Amino acid sequence: MSTPLAEVERKPLTKKELAAEHPTWCPGCGDFSVLALYFKLMEKRRIWHEKVTTVAGIGCSSRFPYFVQAHGAHFIHGRALPFATGLSLSRPDLHVFVFGGDGDAFSIGGNHFNHCARKNVKLTYLVMDNQVYGLTKKQTSPTSPIGFKSKTDTWGAQDEPVNPMRQALTAGATFVARTTHTNPKHLLEVMEQAMDHDGFSFIECLSECTEFFEGAFDSSNPRKGGEFLEMPQGHDVTDEMAAYRIAGVPFPGHFGVFYKVQKTTKNAKEAEINRRLREKVKGLEDWQILQQNFDRMK
């Protein structure tokens, strides 16, 4: 049997070939690191231009697809996941990556997050959590800690923040992990594992906003005197209750894969429905199937 062309002739894409316009993020923004590791992942896993699919909502972090020289969409604030769901269901040959911020994911897009997770749509959602609204210049976000002073809480935030790990677990996500922009090796490993997961994979990546919340994650960064804690020894990634408990460890908490189980994806269920329906209309052209539907509606 001959080797497929793609394997013999194509070299992995380089960063130069994948980079589009120069990122407009502020110097030192954590989002640079996520982009660099995304390029590394494409190179390492030999994902070609026509297979790279980067979707985002609105926010500094959501500018991501602009900076990738491949297919992608900068969609509506909080609506990246419904868009990506359609893409994932209709193009099983692609792995869809979705990037966004904490506001995009847990405020305006909170509803979509829960439903995409429970439906187990096959895609990877990486939230660049800076615990603030960066693009709109420092409002309290759903993950801002109590006491954080912003333009919307000049006296300091008072509301209990969302815990992204617990939110994802409760919503029914089948892969839940946490990493940080200051640990590139860890970030790449987690992204790779998420990509290999057959289902909805969620990553919270701490990504510092140097402009509006400088030093927010120093306590998780050994280079700044903090501590990077991996998952507790012997943690069973299929134990949901254990994952939930670990997610409750006070900030900066643990990093790694909290939870990973295999469940039937929305993609597989839809494919099965399509297969069964196709059986019923076997031998008919697409236009004849449409005609039948119209006739039924008369």
Contact footprint for Mg ion (CB under 5 A): 101-102, 130
210 sits near ligand SF4 (criterion: CB under 6 A): yes
Q: Is 206 in the site for ligand SF4 (CB under 6 A)?
A: no
Quick one: which of 109, 134, 142, 161 contacts ligand SF4 (CB under 6 A)?
Answer: 134
The amino acid that residue 285 corresponds to is E
For the CB of residue 113, give the shortest distance to Mg ion in the complex, in Å. Answer: 14
CA angle 47, 53, 54 (to 5 degrees): 120
The one among 41, 58, 126, 191 contacting ligand TPP by CB under 6 A: 58
Do 166 and 174 meet the contact criterion of CB atoms below 8 Å apart?
Answer: no
Stretch that binds ligand SF4, among 74-82, 128-136, 146-154, 217-225 (CB under 6 A): 128-136
Helix (H) or strand (E) holding 112: helix 110-119
Query: Scanning residues 222 to 261, which ones bind ligand TPP (CB under 6 A)?
Result: none
Among 33, 88, 107, 130, binds ligand SF4 (CB under 6 A): 130
Q: Are 240 and 174 in contact (CB under 8 A)?
A: no
Residue 244's CB is within 10 A of a number of other CB atoms, namely 17
**Residue 58 binds: one of ligand TPP, Mg ion, ligand SF4, none (C-beta under 5 to 8 A by kind):** ligand TPP
Rg (CA), the chain: 21
Give the C-alpha distances (Å, rounded to integers) separating 294 from 279, 288, 298. Answer: 19, 10, 7
Given the complex with ligand TPP, which of 133 and 259 has the nearer CB atom? 133
Using DSSP, state whether 167 is helix, strand or coil. Answer: helix
Residue 102 φ/ψ, nearest 5 degrees = -65, -35
Residues that bind ligand SF4 (CB under 6 A): 25-26, 29, 31, 60, 130, 134-135, 209-212
Residues that bind ligand TPP (CB under 6 A): 58-61, 77, 101-104, 108, 128, 130, 132-136, 141
